[in-house]
Amino acid sequence: MSKSGSNHIKTAHSYISEKVKSIPHSGIRKFFDLIASMEGVISLGVGEPDFVTPWHIREAAIYSLEKGYTMYTSNKGMPELSEELAKYLNSQTCPDCVGTRLRKEARHVKVGKKNIQG
């Protein structure tokens, strides 16, 4: 109790400036709230599914960490991935290119519209 005799407890919200309080909620937050309220929907809004990553993928990640793969790759990508991609592509018959395959310099792997292999 204060000297004036009144209990004055400030809430966390009372420490936020009026200017900050007036900022509207983000559209993406509204989107996530909407998706969370729907059944059978997998949200990939931030590139992260709303379910546990399957064990075989987690196990491979752990193995990679144990082998020291803890840094970003070069923007040229990983040679091993490019070679495996070439093997896969060469084993498939492509109706569009009639067997012509991309040169090594033209092969790219993209995740979320971001080039991870080139």
Rounded Cα–Cα distance for residues 56 and 32 (Å): 28
d(CA 69, CA 36): 34
Interval 45-65: pLDDT, tens: 677 777 888 999 999 999 999
pTM: 0.38
| Per-domain boundaries in the chain | 74-118
pLDDT value for 1: 47
